[in-house]
Amino acid sequence: MTLRSAAAVAALITSLSAGPLLGEERDSNTMNLMDDKNPPVAKVVPHPVTIHGDTRADDYFWIRDDKRQDPEVLGYLEAENNYTARVMKPTEAMQQRIFEEIKGRVKETDLTVPYLDNDYFYYSRTEAGKQYAIYCRKTRSLDAPEEIYCDQNEMAKGHDYFSLGVKNVSPNGQLMAFSTDTNGSESYRLQFRDLTTGKLYPEAMSEVDNVAWANDNRHLFYTTRDPAKRTYRVWRHELDTPAANDVLLYQEDDALYDIYLAKTRSDGFILFGSASSTTSECRVIPADQPLTAPRLVEPRQEDIEYYVDHRGDTFYIRTNQDAKNFKIVTAPVATPDASHWTELLAHRPAVKIEDIDIFQDFWVSVERSRGLGQLRVTSFREGISHDIEFPDAAYAVSPSGNAEFVTSAYRRADSGRFGNRWKCWAALTRPITSPSGSMPVPTTVPKFRLPLFPGRERPGTARPRFSCTATAPTAFPVRPAFRAPASACSIAASSGPSPTFVAAANWARSGMTRERPISSGTPLPTSSPPVSTWWPGASLPPIGWPRWAARPVAS
């Protein structure tokens, strides 16, 4: 979290206490801009809006000003800001106190774990008092001199607002494609910089969402968004040529679909596809032949999803075709359509395959079983699979920084019991005997651990895991967190009712799982405070008790 984010959160929290002042209704079609007691009220100007043949009246359409130049709109927004400042002035001391508390839980000067990509170790760092991260790299060795290739703090100078979108370095490491938003419109402008000379290329593209470099370091593919911010077009650009000459490769006209764009870890193919919430399709272009026409892997079929990766002369495809929880199939690069799919990992009713990572010597299936993430590592040579083990009964895990195709290590980020958050490699170094030789199996080599801040240690916490059955016969996992004596770190051992923190999400129907990793500054609730002590005059919980997701119960 940056200092800018912390300040915004502090202001938002204190604004909740002013709620009763903000909800009064008005019966007026004019703006009240000067009343210190009441908020300004926007005038009503009915404007017909027709969508899908249905016409409705938008009374406040006049406030839309994409160019941000209409004096009347700007005047009304300034009146709102002035009113907010007046109402919130008595809380300024509280805002500062909350800001300092949040900032006290943020390590302002910090460093991410470096990852290797095309002979460079990439990482980012933050410095105390600066708003944005600084992106750095070192050539071939972590002992090499640091090169700052993207300093957002310098890029943000002269702008009231700044947001970095994509940041993609070319395969030879000499060029960077990057996009920025400097007015808060979420419209990102793509530009190119020579990292050896600092030269900024003259061409620029608007409404860019994502990019992928071809292997020639000369051509780049990018996607753009429509006025509704839906990614719907794929383009090919040649560096140092006018953007007007760019070639439109594909346009998705169905509003239910968005375009995604990626490059395989093998550097073999550029992938782009259309995906809705239930259906997808993918097209491929050889990364060594960027002028080649896109080739469709398999035409879309309603309610069938598939996602493609690559190694050698084979595509590896994750699909839910006849497999609700997904399965893995392979197909020849020359004939990748569904009639040539061969099953590699079968569908399992109790395990969902969420992703796959393909490397030269092994591949990883990112899975979820009984609500917990798991990583299944399989050797291509031996065909033997191993699950990476975790020390905690409840944890969250995700892949992290696996950019290299030729590697013997797999990086992941873990969060276990409170305070134990780290990044590590699951290095394939410990051999075991198999019928045809030896197969490296995963062993954990911790590389970075996020420490708790002073006063936030919780050595007496317990975080067991068990199953419950609700009205339906299907059991669901429960992961409570509570303080307990060292000799009784289980619910079964506790006597009588205990304060318990219950969090729930309404995402079960969509198949989404919400992880609850705990950051270094998050304290563990030790009891259930009465509602009257949460906030003077309001039923709002304090920091650390998410009012949108949780409530305390008696047992």
Tell me the pLDDT tens digit for each residue of 227-267.
999 999 999 999 999 999 999 999 999 999 999 999 999 99
What is the secondary structure of 238-296 as a DSSP string? ETTS-GGGPEEEEE---TT-EEEEEE-TTS-EEEEEEE-SS-EEEEEEETT-TTSPPEE
10 against 97, higher pLDDT: 97
426 against 91, higher pLDDT: 91
Examine residue 470 and state whether it is found in any structural domain, yes or no: no
- Does pLDDT of 11 surpass 90? no
User: Average of pLDDT values for 462-485?
Assistant: 65
Residue 188 pLDDT level (bands cut at 50, 70, 90):
very high
Per-residue confidence (pLDDT) for residue 528, from 0 to 100: 34
- Does pLDDT of 148 surpass 70? yes
Examine residue 375 and state whether it is found in any structural domain, yes or no: no
Residue 362 · residue 419 · CB < 8 Å: no
Residue 443 · residue 429 · CB < 8 Å: yes
Q: What is the pLDDT of residues 366-379, one digit of tens each?
A: 999 988 899 999 99
Dihedral Cα 445, 448, 451, 457, nearest 10 deg: -10
533 against 108, higher pLDDT: 108
User: Average of pLDDT values for 63-72?
Assistant: 88
Give the residue numbers spanning the domain of 87: 3-100
Q: Write down the pTM of the prediction.
A: 0.77
With a CB cutoff of 8 Å and minimum separation 6, the contacts of 272 are: 221, 223, 234, 249, 250, 259, 260, 261, 262, 282, 283, 285, 294
Dihedral Cα 420, 424, 428, 432, nearest 10 deg: -20
362 against 432, higher pLDDT: 362
What is the secondary structure of 69-107 as a DSSP string? --HHHHHHHHHHHHHHHHHHGGGHHHHHHHHHHHHHTS-
325 against 526, higher pLDDT: 325
479 against 144, higher pLDDT: 144
Closest CA to 355 of 317, 324, 403, 400: 317
- Does pLDDT of 126 surpass 60? yes
Examine residue 139 and state whether it is found in any structural domain, yes or no: no
With a CB cutoff of 8 Å and minimum separation 6, the contacts of 371 are: 476, 477, 479, 513
Examine residue 136 and state whether it is found in any structural domain, yes or no: no
On average, the pLDDT of the chain sits at 79
Per-residue confidence (pLDDT) for residue 465, from 0 to 100: 72
Tally of domains within the chain: 1
The SS3 of residue 63 is helix
Residue 500 pLDDT level (bands cut at 50, 70, 90):
low
72 against 113, higher pLDDT: 72
Examine residue 363 and state whether it is found in any structural domain, yes or no: no
Examine residue 32 and state whether it is found in any structural domain, yes or no: yes
- Does pLDDT of 13 surpass 90? no
Of 89-93, 408-412, 490-494, 498-502, the least confident: 490-494
Residue 108 pLDDT level (bands cut at 50, 70, 90):
confident
In whole angstroms, give the CA distance from residue 160 to residue 285.
40
Residue 398 pLDDT level (bands cut at 50, 70, 90):
confident
User: Average of pLDDT values for 81-93?
Assistant: 93
Closest CA to 114 of 452, 515, 447: 447
- Does pLDDT of 401 surpass 90? no
Per-residue confidence (pLDDT) for residue 542, from 0 to 100: 35
Amino acid sitting at position 453: F
* Residue 114: how many other CB atoms lie within 10 Å: 18
User: Average of pLDDT values for 62-88?
Assistant: 91
Of 32-36, 49-53, 263-267, 283-287, the least confident: 32-36
- Does pLDDT of 37 surpass 60? yes
Examine residue 42 and state whether it is found in any structural domain, yes or no: yes
In whole angstroms, give the CA distance from residue 175 to residue 226.
27
- Does pLDDT of 521 surpass 50? no
Examine residue 33 and state whether it is found in any structural domain, yes or no: yes
